[in-house]
Amino acid sequence: MAGLHGTFGIAARNFTAYPEIPDAKALVDYGVRMEELGFDSLWVWDHILLGVDPNFPIIDSLTLLTAIAARTKKIKLSTGILVLPLRNPVVLAKQLSSMDRISDGRLLMAMAAGWYKREFDAVGVPYEQRGRIMDDNLEIMKRLWTEDVVKGEWPNHKIPAGVMYPKPVQQPCPILIGGYADRVLKRAAVDGDGWLTYFYKPESFAESWAKVCAYAEEAGKDPSTLMNGNQLPIMVGESRAAVEEKMMKWLNVDFDIAQGSKSTMDSAIMGTVDECVEQLLEHIKVGVQKIVFVPYKYEMSQIEIIAREIIPRLRKAMK
C-alpha cells in the first residue's frame, strides 16, 4: 500500500440540536487540541439555516476556521462541505484567499451544490438552478485566484474587469467536490481537484471513484493528481455488538442520508481497536486517501483512542 496519500482528519461539532447551542470558543480550543493530537485536517459542517422543528444551531464554518487558523500552525482547515451556490462567488473568492493567507496555505475546501431548499429560498438563490450556479461560481472563483484581470459575463455576474489580490498562497487553491450523481462526479474530476463523500462503504466508494478517474482521463486530466476523501462515523468499544445500538441511535438523530446516494449508516466503523483498524484498512485498500473521522458524539475519549491507537497502526500498515 505504499505511495498512498493516507491522511487522517477529524470532524468538529459546530452544529447541535436545539436548545443546545454550539460553544464557539470551545470549538476553537478543540481545533487546537486536534492539531496537538496529530490529525492532519479538521472538518466543519456548513449551513446558514438548518431545520425548524427540530432545528440545529450552527456556528458559521468559515468564521470558525479563520479563528482556528489563527491559533494553529499545521492542521489543514476544511469544510465537509461548503454549500457553494448559497454564496456570492466574488465575495467568497476574496474571503477564502484571505483565509489561505492567514493560515499560510492550509485551506482544503470541499464544496457541493446543496440539498436544503428552504435555505436557498431564504438566501434568494433559485434552488432549481443550483447546479448551473455551482459551475459558474467555481469558474469565477478559480479565475479570480489565478488571473491578473478577469473579464466575463455570467447569468448572475457581470465583470468588465475584475482584479483580485492577494491571491491564495496555494496555487492552485484546492477544491474537492461533494456529491454522488454522475454529473457531480464529472464536476469533481474536471472542474475540481477531487471528490469528497460521506458514509460510503469501500465497494461503493471504489465504484464512484473509478467514475471520477474515468471522467478525468476523458477530459485529458491525469487522475493521479486528484484527491479524494470519505467521512466515516466511528465508535470504539468492547465489541461491535456492544456499541452498535448506541451508535445507530446517534447517527439517525444527527445525520441525514441523501436520497439516491450510496451513503449508508452501515458504513459506520465499530468495534474494538483491532476491528476498527481492519475495517478502515478496507477503505484504504480501495483507494481512499483521506479518512475523516466522525467520532461518536465527538467524545474526547473516542478521539484520543483514534489518535493514539488507530491512526498509528493505519500509518504503519500503509508504509
Q: What is the domain range of residue 136?
A: 7-226
Query: What pLDDT was estimated at residue 45?
Result: 98
Domain presence at residue 267: no
Residue 270 lies in a domain: no
pLDDT digits (tens, 9 = 90+) for 250-278: 999 889 888 889 999 999 999 999 999 99
Query: Does 227 have pLDDT greater than 80?
Result: yes
- State pLDDT tens for residues 165-213: 999 999 999 999 999 999 999 999 999 999 999 999 999 999 999 999 9
Residue type, 88: N
Model confidence pLDDT, tens digit, residues 100-131: 999 999 999 999 999 999 999 999 999 999 99
Report the pLDDT value the prediction gives residue 260, as an integer from 0 to 100: 86
Residue 5, pLDDT score? 58
d(CA 178, CA 198): 9
Q: Confirm whether 130 is domain-assigned.
A: yes
When comparing pLDDT for 260 and 138, which is higher?
138
Q: What is the pLDDT of residue 164?
A: 98
**49 within domain boundaries:** yes
Helices assigned H by DSSP within the chain: 24-36, 61-71, 89-102, 117-123, 130-146, 182-190, 202-218, 240-254, 273-285, 300-305, 311-318
**Nearest of 246, 226, 232, 210 to residue 276 by alpha carbon:** 232
Residue 316 lies in a domain: no
CA distances from 99 to 49, 73, 79, 102, 108 (A): 23, 13, 13, 5, 11
pTM, full prediction? 0.96
Total of domains in the chain: 1
pLDDT digit string, tens, across residues 51-85: 999 999 999 999 999 999 999 999 999 999 999 99
- CATH number of the domain residue 216 falls in: 3.20.20.30
225 pLDDT above the threshold of 60: yes
Is residue 286 a part of any domain in this protein?
no
Residue 261 domain-assigned (yes or no): no
Q: What is the pLDDT of residues 5-58, one digit of tens each?
A: 579 999 999 999 999 999 999 999 999 999 999 999 999 999 999 999 999 999
pLDDT at 47: 97
Question: Tens of pLDDT along 143-166?
Answer: 999 999 999 999 999 999 999 999
Instruction: Look at residue 259 in the predicted model and tell me its pLDDT.
Output: 83
Q: Is residue 259 part of a domain?
A: no
Percentage of residues of the chain with pLDDT beyond 90:
95
Q: Is the pLDDT of residue 1 over 50?
A: no
Query: What pLDDT score was predicted for residue 13?
Result: 98
Measured between alpha carbons, how far is 244 from 271 in angstroms, rounded to an integer? 8
